[in-house]
Structure 1
Amino acid sequence: MQTGTIRHMAIFTLKHREGSPEIEHFLQDGEKILSAIPVVKHFEVLRQVSVKCEFDYGFSMEFENQEAYDAYNAHPDHQRFVQERWETEVVSFQEIDLMK
């Protein structure tokens, strides 16, 4: 089993019009809900600045190891956020998981 720190990044585009309050609510709710999961470390909400990338926003976080990452994915708050918000508001995304 791999044991290093994992940096998980989800970069995405939302269905909402740029500058809309729905975008801010999604980003704020994502930070509040996901960063409260005990195994999540160093949560960040990011905004894309490069014209070379098709995605507009990003969530970045770290996990101590694979076990912590697996616990995050199975956590009811994460699963609820994915079902209720991510699947209904995100139109495209890419996930990147890197180990230190």
Structure 2
Amino acid sequence: MSDARGMDGEKVVVRLYVLITLLAGVMGFVLGTIRPEDLDPELFGVVQLPPTPVGVAIYGLVTVGLGLGVFLGLVVYVSRRSDDDAGTRDRGPQ
């Protein structure tokens, strides 16, 4: 289903997800450029990244992208399951 402008909700959410993830990467790059003293990016407590602008940008992209991606995936899964269940209930006995 789409609204009057022809943009459906799923496209808006995906574009917002990409925008937020890219913003996290840009902010990581800015933070890496400032170089605070105790900056030590480590992905998931396992992968050590260099405290450079690119390393901190990668950390921001991966962390926010994965965190929001998992959440978004769960929301899509639940909404599709909910739509499927609602469709079978609306039909009534056959």
Compute the TM-score of the two structures, normalised by the length of structure 1. Answer: 0.30
The answer to which structure has the higher strand fraction is: 1
The answer to which structure has the higher helix fraction is: 2
Compute the TM-score of the two structures, normalised by the length of structure 2. Answer: 0.32
